[in-house]
């Protein structure tokens, strides 16, 4: 029989710390701490499976759970010696969420549950602190109304702000008992007016409604969005933790706070966190009051501080990881409310992993597995150029490292919309709340005027790897007017601003940013990854500077050098256009010429004379297009040779895969629409000139080259088959560059990749051209160069017939961008119109252009690997689509047995780490499971 509820209290818990699947992270932590003798307020946890049943049954909690809840509440009441909400001495509880994976602020919490119009007097009498009792009651009404009854919390906040203004006070703590009593009456009236019901007075009804609201919050928009962004499955559910309330807001001998055993932003080994005297936990994380650094607690409450340090150090050593903890001090007695592995920035994750290895807490393998591969992206954020640093307008707290510039925006919706339109934005808020998650994700960085280092903005920004400045108190934010001000300076929506999350500074204007480099703990950590990984990691790079950057990040070669990107320079595009415009005419005349030559062999007499005359006319006609076409190729040859020489030299000692020309010809030509308009305007003006005639000729050729579906048209190897001179020119440029570099003493390893192959005959045709040119060039140069010829597997037919294709290929490289496009039938350019709906409705789990569709596209890859190696055991196989930098795709490639992945230069460290983790996961599954 399944167990739905788990009790903890009295020094013993029914659950354990390794039961996160059942108890959620928070519940498992509470059970573990209770069993370890740590002071934890008692309570019980309702299992995650109940949440899934609740969702399945349309928002109804199973009857058996409700019945068990009555039993468990009675156990809690017996332990505490009082009943929930009893009039003279009420037991009060908190109701909190807690999923397997930490989702800070994404789901809901209710505090002070059990208060009503009678028990508030009992609490006042028992504590001899009426102000405290009424403060708890007004907080409870506001939270319950917002979380359970779905009322806008701003309605209550506005009333509170008006009251403080009327009383001439700054803080909630300055309001009197009479003020709070009146506020409770006002809050209850708001509930009655907006919810259409009176505030519930029965504590058991309150508990049932709160429990169900927390279960419902598993599927609120921000939780769904957070899971999507962090790849957390939707079918886990949340537990509900019902826990006895302890109070940090009873007076000056009370406090509440949150902390980390190490700095979650930098990784420094320091006791880190914040606290507030005479406050509840929501005050710290909500940012409504700016808290004090936790170090100040040592002077304010030295005994409690020492106990807190001792307990949290024990917790870190026990879990062998940084702990994120919440605590409350009630009348100088310490209680731990939560512990969990702390969310941290990529910078902190790397430093902590390295230092914990040096401290003997974990080994290298565990360190490598500890850091999420995607988090390394945070270490690659730019910083403000110190030589050109703008003057700081204001300074707050350095909540999340890195610098960012963007247009100022003041609403999350505006941030999301403007970012979608391609504008970089900085989100400026008084404080953020969970409803801002989409805008925070879209922004380049976040700055708030209120809140501290553990506020919502700080925690979420660190998790996203975005720069954040919090608690910038001198900045006044007016979200309605869409502006903020510091002194006499006003920043309005659209103005450029820069924030530095490492220093806490806000600067007006757009700053110059400097790209980061690998070094220090990061360098040590990346060397460890290379000790474990089996796959190589290359970069997609088209220029020497890109190759150099990739090599600085640890790339072991280039997996994709796109030659077409070299053609768009101003000194080249005209040559390329001349080549294109003359190529078709030259090819048609060449076909006629060959046909005439063949025809001539069978003719005699007068017929032979006629054919000879036609042959001479064709020879004359072909001269000009031949000179233009072949002349253009001869002009491009030295340019391409220097291009390839630069890339090969920058990656000397490593293989460089160079793809021959891939895109359709029309991409190098101007728009037919633009040309038509220019011609029409010129003719309307009565103009007549050779330039106009050239434009008309160009328009004719552009229209002739137009294709209804160019991505499936005359491109890739099809260009090389119909225009072998282009393939020959590129092959000659590659081999000549390699020969020259070898003569200069450089080790170079060019790999020539033929794109868009669908049949083995296409590859045979193109390889023959390459091999002929290579042989001739090396003989002329007197140099032998090791080179390979292979193909991209990007057409489903090539994957299915890989055993045939492999007979002519020395390597395969999966072009997963096009392979995904052709397998799913999705146009990369148009899929954005419907793909979000597909993901939202669960038709697709995630964007297949970001992470490999392992069932469909992945199965084609499996087939290609198996069949290709069945005829060529030495066949080198890699991947060069952008999926090569996606950790999940890297794991998949490791399982397939690929030799390497290739990705953009800035994702090389991510791919290196993912490859190491894939190897470790395959080798040590038990260890991975234990650390999950």
CA atoms within 13 A on the CB side of 899: 14
Cβ–Cβ < 8 Å for 481, 472: no
Per the annotation, does 37 bind a ligand? Answer: no
Please give the C-alpha separations between residue 894 and each of 377, 475, 851, 868, 891, in angstroms, as whole numbers: 21, 50, 14, 17, 5
> Is 618:589 a contact under the CB 8 Å cutoff?
yes
Active-site choice (407, 456, 666, 760): 456
> Could you tell me the two tokens for 133?
């009792």
Q: Residue 336 belongs to what H/E stretch?
A: strand 333-341
From CA 560, how far away is CA 539, in angstroms rounded? Answer: 7
The answer for residues whose C-beta is within 8 angstroms of residue 512's C-beta and 6 or more apart is 384, 385, 388
Q: Is 248 left (phi over 0), alpha (psi -120 to 50) or beta?
A: alpha
* Three-state secondary structure call for residue 389: coil
818 is in an annotated binding site: yes
456 carries an active-site annotation: yes
Judge whether 660 is annotated as a binding position. no
User: Taking Cα atoms as reference points, which of 227, 143, 237 lies closest to residue 437?
Assistant: 227
Answer for the pair 73, 103: CB distance below 8 angstroms, yes or no: no
Packed helices 724-743 and 760-781: angle between N→C axes, nearest 10 degrees: 40
Cβ neighbours of residue 558 under 8 Å, at least 6 residues apart? Answer: 538, 539, 540, 541, 547, 550, 647, 651, 654, 655, 656, 657, 658, 902
Catalytic site includes residue 880: yes
- Is 691 annotated as ligand-binding? no
659 marked as part of a ligand binding site:
yes
Backbone angles phi, psi at 393, to 5 degrees: -80, -35
Strand (E) positions, 457-574?
468-470, 476-478, 483-486, 489-492, 496-500, 505-508, 513-514, 536-540, 558-562
> Which residue, 440, 433, 432, 434, is CA-closest to 414?
440
The one-character DSSP state at 333 is E
Closest C-alpha among 732, 728, 763 to residue 644: 732
Burial of 495 (0-12, 13-18, 19+ CB in 10 A): middle
The one-character DSSP state at 535 is S
Token reading at 642:
């220097």
The active-site residue out of 468, 472, 717, 880 is 880
Q: Which residues are known to be catalytic? A: 456, 880
In the annotated binding site for substrate, the residues are 562, 659, 794, 815-818
In the annotated binding site for Mg(2+), the residues are 794, 818
């Amino acid at each position: 029989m399944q167990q739905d509820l788990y009790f903890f209290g009295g020094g013993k818990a029914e659950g354990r710390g390794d039961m996160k699947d059942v108890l959620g992270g928070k519940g498992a932590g509470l059970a573990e701490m209770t069993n370890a003798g740590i002071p934890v307020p008692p309570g019980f946890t309702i299992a995650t499976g109940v949440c899934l049943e609740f969702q399945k049954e349309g928002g109804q909690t199973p009857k058996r759970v409700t019945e068990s809840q009555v039993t468990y509440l009675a156990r809690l009441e017996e332990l505490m010696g009082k009943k929930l909400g009893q009039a003279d001495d009420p037991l009060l509880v908190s109701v909190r969420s807690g999923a397997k994976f930490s989702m800070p602020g994404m789901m809901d919490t209710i505090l002070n549950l059990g208060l009503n119009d009678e028990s508030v007097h009992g609490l006042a009498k028992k504590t001899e602190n009426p102000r405290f009792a009424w403060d708890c009651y007004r907080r409870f009404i506001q939270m319950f109304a917002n979380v359970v009854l779905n009322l806008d919390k701003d309605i209550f906040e506005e009333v509170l702000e008006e009251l403080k203004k009327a009383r001439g006070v700054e803080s909630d703590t300055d309001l009197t008992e009479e003020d709070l009593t009146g506020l409770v009456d006002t809050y209850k009236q708001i509930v009655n007016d907006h919810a259409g019901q009176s505030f519930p007075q029965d504590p058991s009804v309150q508990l049932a409604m709160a429990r169900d609201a927390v279960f419902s919050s598993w599927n609120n928009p921000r939780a769904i969005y957070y899971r999507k962004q962090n790849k957390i499955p939707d079918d886990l559910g949340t537990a509900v933790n019902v826990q006895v309330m302890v109070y940090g807001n009873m007076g000056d001998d009370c406090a509440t706070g949150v902390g980390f055993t190490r700095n979650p932003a930098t990784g420094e080994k320091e006791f880190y966190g914040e606290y507030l005297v005479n406050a509840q936990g929501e005050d710290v994380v909500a940012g409504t009051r700016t808290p004090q650094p936790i170090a100040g607690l040592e002077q304010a409450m030295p005994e409690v501080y020492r106990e807190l340090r001792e307990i949290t150090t024990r917790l870190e050593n026990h879990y062998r990881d940084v702990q994120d903890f919440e605590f409350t001090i009630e009348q100088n007695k310490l209680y731990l409310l939560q512990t969990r592995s702390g969310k941290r920035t990529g910078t902190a994750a790397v430093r902590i992993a390295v230092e914990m290895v040096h401290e003997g807490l974990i080994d290298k393998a565990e360190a490598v597995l500890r850091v999420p591969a995607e988090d390394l992206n945070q270490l690659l954020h730019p910083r403000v150029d110190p030589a050109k640093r703008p003057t700081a307008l204001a300074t707050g707290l350095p909540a999340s490292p890195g610098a960012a510039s963007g247009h100022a925006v003041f609403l999350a919706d505006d941030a999301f919309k403007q970012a979608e339109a391609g504008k970089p934005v900085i989100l400026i808020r008084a404080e953020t709340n969970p409803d801002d998650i989409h805008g925070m994700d879209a922004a380049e960085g976040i700055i708030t005027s209120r809140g501290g280092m553990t506020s919502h903005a700080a925690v979420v920004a660190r998790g996203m790897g975005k720069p954040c400045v919090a608690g910038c108190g001198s900045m006044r934010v007016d979200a309605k007017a869409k502006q903020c001000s510091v002194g006499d300076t006003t920043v309005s929506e659209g103005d450029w601003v820069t924030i530095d999350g490492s220093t806490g500074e806000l600067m007006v204007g757009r700053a110059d940013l400097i790209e980061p480099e690998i070094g220090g703990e990061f360098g040590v950590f990346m060397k460890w990854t290379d000790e474990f990984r089996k796959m190589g990691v290359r970069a997609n790079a088209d220029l020497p500077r890109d190759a150099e950057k990739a090599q600085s990040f640890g790339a072991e070669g280039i997996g994709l050098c796109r030659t077409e990107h070299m053609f768009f320079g101003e000194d080249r595009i005209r040559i390329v256009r001349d080549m294109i415009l003359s190529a078709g005419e030259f090819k048609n005349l060449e076909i006629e010429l060959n046909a005439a030559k063949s025809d001539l062999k069978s003719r005699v007499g007068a017929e032979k004379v006629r054919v000879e005359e036609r042959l001479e006319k064709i020879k004359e006609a072909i001269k000009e297009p031949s000179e233009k076409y072949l002349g253009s190729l001869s002009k491009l040859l030295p340019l391409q040779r220097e291009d390839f020489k630069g890339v090969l030299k920058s990656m000397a000692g490593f293989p460089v895969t160079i793809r021959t020309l891939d895109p359709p010809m029309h991409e190098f030509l101007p728009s037919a629409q633009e040309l038509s308009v220019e011609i029409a305007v010129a003719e309307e003006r009565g103009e007549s000139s050779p330039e106009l005639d050239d434009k008309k000729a160009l328009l004719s050729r552009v229209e002739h080259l137009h294709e209804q579906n160019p991505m499936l048209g005359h491109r890739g190897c099809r260009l090389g088959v119909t225009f072998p001179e282009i393939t020959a020119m590129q092959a000659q440029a590659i081999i000549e560059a390699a020969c020259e570099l070898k003569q200069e003493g450089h080790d170079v390893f060019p790999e020539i990749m033929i794109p868009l192959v669908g049949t083995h005959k296409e590859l045979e045709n193109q390889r023959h051209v390459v091999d002929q040119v290579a042989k001739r060039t090396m003989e002329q140069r007197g140099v032998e160069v090791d080179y390979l010829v292979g193909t991209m597997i990007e057409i489903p037919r090539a994957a299915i017939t890989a055993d045939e294709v492999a007979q002519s290929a020395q390597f395969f490289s999966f072009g997963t961008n096009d392979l995904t496009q052709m397998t799913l039938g999705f146009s990369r350019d148009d899929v954005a119109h419907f793909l979000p709906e597909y993901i939202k409705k669960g038709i697709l789990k995630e964007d297949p252009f970001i992470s490999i569709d392992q069932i469909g596209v992945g199965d084609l890859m499996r087939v290609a690997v198996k069949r290709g190696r069945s005829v060529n055991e030495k066949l080198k196989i890699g991947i060069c689509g952008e999926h090569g930098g996606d950790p999940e795709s890297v794991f998949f490639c490791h399982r397939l047995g690929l030799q390497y992945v290739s990705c953009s230069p800035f994702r090389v460290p991510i791919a290196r780490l993912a490859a190491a983790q894939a190897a470790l996961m395959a080798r040590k599954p038990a260890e991975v499971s234990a650390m999950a």
